[in-house]
Amino acid sequence: MSRDEPNASDEPVATEGRAGRRPTIYDIAQKVGLNPSTVSRALNKPGRTNAATEEKIRAAAAELGYRVNPMARSLPTGLTGTFAIVLPDITNPVHFELIRGAEQVARASGFTLIVSETEASADLELETIETLQPSVDGLLVVASRLADEELAALAREKPIVAANHSAPSLPSVIPDLVMGLTAAMDHLHDLGHGSVAYLGLGDIQINRARWDLTLDLATTRGISAVEITVDAPTVAGGADALRRVRASGVTAVLAYNDLVAHGLLRAARSGGVQLPESFSVIGFDDIFSAELAAPALTTLRSPLREIGTRAMQTLIDPERNRVPSKVVLPLELVVRESTAAPSVRTR
């Protein structure tokens, strides 16, 4: 077979083309006036062809009704055309846009993306990845509960890309914690707060990075900081923390995510605690309900869809999906009603 001769992976599924037959890459090549090998490369290896040319080819393929057949593609390559996204909690709205970004990339490239949940359990995450690996070409692991060395060992079997958390041994796509948390602490400092509680998840890697940075930033601004561990990154977890937040005497709270912040706001409202008069609250992620909270939640806006998009682009690229790297995307503070100057200035 010559370099320019397409293989069985270029066969389409049963979508009828002109003259009652299935369209092929040769039909697309004839329509756009390009070599079939160029068409094959544009459809099967996104990013390897000039962007304008690739767009032209995909438009022609869509017009003719061409679809890549992942089963045929797997025959000569051993690949399945299927990838998996593994995340801790499918009910958490933070994952909606991330999944959408990843799915759009997979679909545009002719791949199938399956979603699996681990219930925020490290043991279940390990079991899930090991179960999926024989059936997929790679995995997108979101906010992993596993240690970096565990993920590195798993990645020797199939490519793994970390999304929304940093894994030094893997390609990672993360929000800029330094940018976001610096803005949050500067905001509290400018309002006059002298003490902050961080509501976190204990010793898991993604939480530890946030708490360590929060502590350093608070210290350099003369703000005292205390860590309060929640049982789960959920509304219930945040609600259960109210008593400890009030006992700590802090004037501001930084929550692990918006769900924890929502729970804290709701519990305070139910208990007759006025916010932000009693203490200010900052969330993390800016999920769709953040601006609907009472009071509307000040939070850090994470670029969730772009995280999913960039992570999936890395995962489907065989030249990048096994090379450790880090893509850092902007994390921005969105100021709403849940933060204000403390009733009694503490500095």
pLDDT of 97: 94
Q: Given this model, what pLDDT does residue 7 score?
A: 44
By percentage, how much of the chain surpasses pLDDT 70?
Answer: 89
Distance from C-alpha of 157 to C-alpha of 139, rounded to nearest angstrom = 11
Question: Strand locations in 133-194, DSSP E?
Answer: 139-142, 160-163, 171-175
> What would the pLDDT profile of 44-64 be if each residue is shown by its tens digit?
766 677 888 888 888 898 888
CB 333 within 8 A of CB 126: no
Which band of pLDDT confidence, cut at 50, 70 and 90, is reported for residue 22?
confident
What does the DSSP assignment read for 85-138?
EEES-TT-THHHHHHHHHHHHHHHTT-EEEEEE-TT-HHHHHHHHHHHGGG-S-
Average pLDDT over residues 320-325: 95
pLDDT digits (tens, 9 = 90+) for 207-245: 999 999 999 999 999 999 999 999 999 999 999 999 999
Asked whether 159 and 83 are in contact (CB, 8 A), the reply is: no
pLDDT at residue number 17:
43
Mean pLDDT confidence for 28-36: 88
Rounded to whole angstroms, how far apart are CA atoms 225 and 194?
Answer: 9
Given this model, what pLDDT does residue 69 score?
60
Phi, psi of 83 (to 5 degrees): -125, 165
Q: Which residues lie across from 161 on neighbouring strands?
A: 140
Three-state DSSP class for residue 172: strand
- Output the average pLDDT for the chain: 89
Q: What is the pLDDT of residues 60-116, one digit of tens each?
A: 988 888 876 655 555 455 678 899 999 999 999 999 999 999 999 999 888 999 999
Q: What is the pLDDT of residues 309-320, one digit of tens each?
A: 999 999 999 999
Least confident of 16-20, 259-263, 329-333: 16-20
- For 250-265, what is each residue's pLDDT tens digit? 999 999 999 999 999 9
**Is it the case that residue 301 has pLDDT exceeding 90?**
yes
The answer regarding whether domain 8-60 maps to CATH 1.10.260.40 reads yes
The answer to whether the CB of 298 falls within 8 A of the CB of 333 is yes
Q: Residue 36: pLDDT band by 50, 70, 90 thresholds?
A: confident
φ, ψ (nearest 5 deg) of residue 209? -60, -40
User: H or E segment at 12?
Assistant: none
User: Distances from the Cα of 205 to the Cαs of 28, 77, 166, in angstroms?
Assistant: 48, 36, 9
Please give the Cα distance from 311 to 162 (Å, whole number): 7
Packed helices 122-132 and 148-155: angle between N→C axes, nearest 10 degrees: 10
Report whether the peptide linkage leading into residue 134 is cis, meaning its omega lies within 30 degrees of zero: no
Q: Which of 227, 250, 255, 252 is nearest to 239 (CA)?
A: 255
HSE of 221, CA atoms in CB hemisphere, 13 A: 26
Tokens matching residue 188: 């509290």
Domain parsing of the chain, residue ranges? 8-60, 76-174+304-329, 177-303
DSSP annotation of 161: E
Percent pLDDT > 90 in the chain is 73
- First-to-last C-alpha distance (Å) of the chain: 76
Q: Which residues contact 102 (CB under 8 A, 6 or more apart)?
A: 85, 113, 140, 163, 308, 309, 311, 312
Determine phi and psi for 339, rounding to 5 degrees: -125, 140
Tell whether pTM > 0.85: no
Residue type, 9: S
**For helices 177-191 and 205-220, angle between their N-to-C axes, nearest 10 degrees:** 40
CA atoms within 13 A on the CB side of 182: 7
pLDDT reported for residue 11: 41
Asked if the domains at 76-174+304-329 and 177-303 fall in one CATH topology, the answer is yes
CB atoms within 10 A of CB 182: 17
**Residue 76: per-residue pLDDT:** 53
Question: Residue 4: which pLDDT band, with cuts at 50, 70 and 90?
Answer: very low
Q: Give the mean model confidence (pLDDT) for residues 174-182.
A: 97
* Among the ranges given (17-21, 69-73, 128-132, 184-188), the one the predictor scored with the smallest mean pLDDT: 17-21
Distance CA 229, CA 197 (A): 10
CATH topology of domain 177-303: Rossmann fold (3.40.50)
User: Does 76-174+304-329 carry CATH code 3.30.530.50?
Assistant: no
